[in-house]
Structure 1
Amino acid sequence: MHHSPPQVVSGMKYVITVEMARTSCRKGDVEKVCTVHEDPQLAAPYLCTFHVWSQPWLNEISVTKQECHH
């Protein structure tokens, strides 16, 4: 590296990795306990990484990047 300009950072960046799988519940069924699909192809888990930018003093939070893989 020849030159790296300084950066002014005003917030927190979080990198969150989660394992997710499909269920038979609909999005509006938040009150239910949802089990993973019985069909093995539909039940295959995803590994997802989310980059989240937070500036709590501005009451702002946003997902800046997301990637999911089987």
Structure 2
Amino acid sequence: MEARGLRMPLLLLLVAVVVMAKVNHIQRWGGFKEKASSKKNINSTLHFFIQSYNNASNDTYLFRVQKLIQSQMQLSTGVEYLVTVKIGRTKCKKSEASNASCPLQSSKLKKSLICTSLIYTVPWVNYYQLWNNSCQDSKVHI
């Protein structure tokens, strides 16, 4: 069978693994570790997180990640990231094009949050899912 003919069965297998993992609460190996993860993977994961946050937020303005405070990962059927980030409200409105270089608010609209999130990813197929997220106002400079 040609490689092209294997594409659909492999995709179906991946979907089955992801669905079964979700149903069976995913077997974890070794727990969360604070170790250096691939910069590319963590950047992609944070990009997914901030897009998800902005899509779910009722705020008029976009937020962006200001600082990665902590990152832990564990292997399962994919990679689970437990991240704590500081995010800030930008001057760009949601109706405008999303731009990572939007400047942060510095006026009375300035707002920062500390968010802790659990994100499941299968990076080799560009699959991401936000499993849990909790954000609180940042009153303390971190």
SS at match of 1:35: coil
Structure 1 residues 58 and 31: CA distance shift in structure 2, 3 A: closer
Task: Name the structure 2 match of 1:3.
Answer: none
Structure 1 residues 13 and 31: CA distance shift in structure 2, 3 A: closer
Shift of 1:51: 0.9
Q: How many equivalent pairs are there? A: 62
Is it true that 1:47 corresponds to 2:114 in the alignment?
yes
Q: Gaps (5+ residues) in structure 1?
A: 1-6
Q: Is the 8 A contact 1:22 1:37 kept in 2?
A: no
Q: CA RMSD in A?
A: 2.3
Shift of 1:10: 1.1
Could you say which structure has the greater relative contact order, defined with CA pairs below 8 angstroms and 6 or more residues apart?
Answer: 1
User: Normalized per residue, which structure has more helix?
Assistant: 2
Runs in 1 of length 4+ with deviation above 4 angstroms? none
Deviations 1:36-68 (A, max 9, x none): 2400xx323110112111123444221111110
* Identity in percent: 26
TM-score (norm 2): 0.37
Q: Gaps (5+ residues) in structure 2?
A: 1-26, 29-75, 138-142
Q: Is the 8 A contact 2:90 2:104 kept in 1?
A: yes
